Chains A and B, each alone.
Chain A
């Protein structure tokens, strides 16, 4: 069952025929007014067609060119995405790569550390210093004895300052 709006539209566009047309026209309270409105609708349609018929597209070739570029760009992006989805192996391979990178970094770090430590290793202590350090001042023999050590490693120099010693240790090399 068509609504009045549908029938009216069909009537305006001459889409009603036969009994449907007769029924509809018979149902109109004022046929003359309806005909006038139909004529108005026609004028409106003509006006729209006349004034709005295809607005020109300027730079048609550029329009197509821009579209082609967009399609290429989108296709590239789509291929990249689908490629990443299709080959999980490429994702898996990043793990060994990471492992290798980590191992390499660790090795470099260790080498650097060893080198730095080697450079900073204190100079071999002098024989005298070792002897003094190993020796113990006998507190019975020299109760007020003090021993001070001044060391400048980069110059490989050590100064031993003793005070209050009654005797030097028997194994002291300077003896």
Chain B
């Protein structure tokens, strides 16, 4: 199987892959999945804070993308298009979860998960136990703070701060106006600043 790195270097353009998908080529779709699965999973994980749920929602999103790839007209990038599906699936799921009211917002069982050694955020040298605990604590605080935002506010702040998406791209993904995106960003930032001030001031 091709890795993401080799795929990035390949000459196969995204549009060619999409056209092949539209002709029913599952291998082409597999290549697109390989390109985007990590980013999609990461974004969903930051929204739902559970690996299992993020896995299932990512699967559901890609499956929906495959089913509706025939309707993709190439007016936006494939990534923006699939992001829209991902956000719809995830926000719907979060809303249903909120309505049901059952279960906890956070999966406490995975708070002390392993950190990817290849991650940019991990120091080269092995962290001391107290440092690792501190990092876990910070992540837990951040996840809890994000958990207090509405699904729409979560989506906007994560797309802006983590994925560096432009206002118009976020608006396109969420199917709302640029003004709405900016307004949501305003309130999401204010709330997170209140909740995390001591964290970012002391780190």
Task: Give residues in A with beta carbon < 8 Å to B.
Answer: 2-3, 5-6, 8-10, 12-13, 15, 37, 40-41, 43-58, 60-61, 63-64, 66-68, 70-72, 74
Contacts and interface: CB of A to CB of B under 8 A. Distances in A.
Interface stretch (B11-19, B92-100, B124-132, B178-186): B178-186
11 contacts: A44-B192, A47-B196, A48-B192, A49-B161, A51-B135, A52-B162, A54-B38, A55-B42, A55-B54, A63-B41, A64-B1
Given A52-B158, A54-B42, A44 B200 contact: yes
Contact of A47 (B34, B42, B66, B200): B200
Interface residues of B, number: 52
A131 B105 CA distance: 100
A110 to B, nearest CB: 54
Nearest to B187: A5
A67 B33 contact: yes
For the complex of A and B, the 5 pairs showing the least CB-CB separation, nearest first, are A56-B116, A54-B42, A5-B186, A57-B41, A55-B45
B63 A51 contact: no
A71 B69 CA distance: 13
B59 A63 contact: yes
A57 B37 contact: yes
Contact of A5 (B66, B138, B182): B182
Q: Is the interface of B mostly helix, strand, loop or mixed?
A: helix
B200 A43 contact: yes
B193 A40 contact: yes
B200 A46 contact: yes
A6 B179 contact: yes
B85 to A, nearest CB: 14
B17 to A, nearest CB: 14
A3 B160 CA distance: 19
Contacts of B185: 9
